[in-house]
């Protein structure tokens, strides 16, 4: 299970997981990017897969007026079961 943290000062949602989740984080980052480009999820300015051999890390940069919880809820709705939680 991934750990999700919210940094209000930098408008970031950071999702951290174990090293064995790196591949799924890469896929998740691609799907999130596609949803943002298709304008199916609003409020996200950037999605970055910063995973390394030691940790899976996905960073989601939010727009200034975005609501983090609403965006997380929308991600869970838009992605198939199991992928929204990374």
Rg (alpha carbons) of the chain, rounded to whole number: 12
Q: What is the pLDDT of residue 83?
A: 47
Domains along the chain? 3-78 (3.30.1360.40)
When the pLDDT of each residue in the chain is averaged and rounded to a whole number, the result is 84
Predicted model pTM:
0.80
pLDDT tens-digit map of 19-61:
888 888 888 899 999 999 999 999 999 999 998 888 899 999 9
At CA 2, angle to CA 45 and CA 65, rounded to 5?
Answer: 25
Using alpha carbons, list the distances in angstroms from residue 65 to 39, 44, 68, 71: 16, 10, 9, 11
DSSP E strands in 1-86: the ranges are: 3-7, 12-17, 44-49, 56-62
């Amino acid at each position: 299970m991934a750990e999700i943290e919210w940094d209000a000062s930098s408008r970031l949602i950071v999702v951290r997981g174990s090293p064995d989740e790196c591949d799924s984080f890469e896929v998740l980052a691609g799907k999130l990017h596609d949803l943002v480009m298709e304008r199916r999820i609003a409020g996200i300015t950037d999605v970055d897969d910063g995973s390394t051999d030691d940790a899976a890390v996905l960073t989601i940069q939010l727009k200034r007026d975005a609501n983090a919880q609403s965006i997380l809820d929308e991600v869970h709705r838009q992605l198939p079961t199991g992928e929204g939680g990374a």
